[in-house]
């Protein structure tokens, strides 16, 4: 059997809710040994986004000196720590990056929260559905004559992709230099990467992006159309001249 990419890498998972468990699940799927370390045995969000089928777990009391020392011993034999609590939460418990760097100098420590660990909004704790609105996704989704659409915790599913790539980069950097890294992930900034065209259009041209239903500025036709029959519909998206010519042939009007 082929060796998986992250076999031999141990990850300490101190995450809750979608973004964190999804991040460590990617690492586990790639062969890493993921150990859920927390103050309760429940992996929040596991049932709805971060499967715990191939993770281990241990429960420790960080308020107890003995529990904290046991946690340090585990970190000393690990490679990566992932957490997504509100900024500063784990530092107050003695499990922040500066604490664990003393235990394991080359540790790779990823913190993911709504708006990063520094700045005026760092202490704002929230769930992903609030950040989806803050990032601007809700404002652009839906019909122009109605309220913004509800997209739920969309940014929670964007961030893990950035996290996995960042951790892989940090592991390669450590392989070459012997040094660990602290990775500070702002889910707000990560999510806004997918709004780059709208942001650029506003910055360069002063145009404010608006809701436009099923329309697409890069395609025509682009909509859902009624078909013959009882409540039957067809989605059509035509992006290129070649697709347009094919579409015309399909509907019997090549001219």
Catalytic sites, residue numbers: 156
How far, in Å, CA of 17 to CA of 100, rounded? 23
How far, in Å, CA of 22 to CA of 156, rounded? 9
CA within 13 Å, CB half, 247: 15
CA within 13 Å, CB half, 169: 10
Residue whose token pair is 């020392």: 69
Rg (Cα) of the chain, in Å, rounded?
A: 23
Q: Report helix, strand and coil shares of the chain as percent, to nearest 5.
A: 40, 15, 45
How far, in Å, CA of 101 to CA of 181, rounded? 9
Token pair belonging to 244: 């347009």
Closest by CA to 159, choosing from 195, 191, 123, is 191
């Amino acid at each position: 059997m082929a060796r998986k990419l992250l076999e031999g890498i141990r990850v300490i998972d101190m995450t809750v809710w979608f973004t964190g468990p999804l991040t460590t699940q990617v690492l586990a799927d790639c062969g890493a040994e993921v150990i859920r370390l927390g103050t309760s045995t429940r992996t929040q969000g596991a049932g709805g986004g971060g499967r715990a089928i191939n993770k281990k777990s241990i429960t420790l009391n960080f308020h107890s000196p003995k529990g904290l020392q046991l946690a340090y011993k585990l970190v000393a034999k690990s490679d990566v720590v992932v957490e997504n609590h509100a900024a500063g939460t784990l530092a107050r418990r003695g499990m922040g990056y500066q604490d664990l760097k003393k235990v394991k100098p080359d540790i790779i420590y990823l913190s993911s929260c709504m708006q990063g660990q520094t700045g005026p909004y760092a202490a704002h704790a929230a769930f992903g559905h609030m950040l989806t609105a803050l990032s601007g996704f809700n404002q652009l989704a839906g019909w122009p004559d109605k309220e913004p659409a509800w997209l739920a915790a969309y940014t929670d599913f964007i961030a893990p992709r950035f996290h996995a790539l960042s951790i892989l980069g940090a592991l390669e950097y450590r392989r070459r230099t012997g040094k660990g890294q602290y990775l500070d992930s702002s889910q707000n900034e990560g999510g806004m990467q997918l709004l780059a065209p709208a942001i650029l259009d506003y910055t360069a041209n002063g145009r404010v992006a608006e809701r436009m239903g099923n329309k697409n500025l890069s395609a025509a036709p682009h909509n859902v159309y009624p078909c013959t029959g009882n409540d039957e519909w067809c989605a059509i998206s035509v992006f290129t001249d070649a697709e347009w010519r094919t579409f015309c042939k399909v509907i019997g009007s090549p001219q």
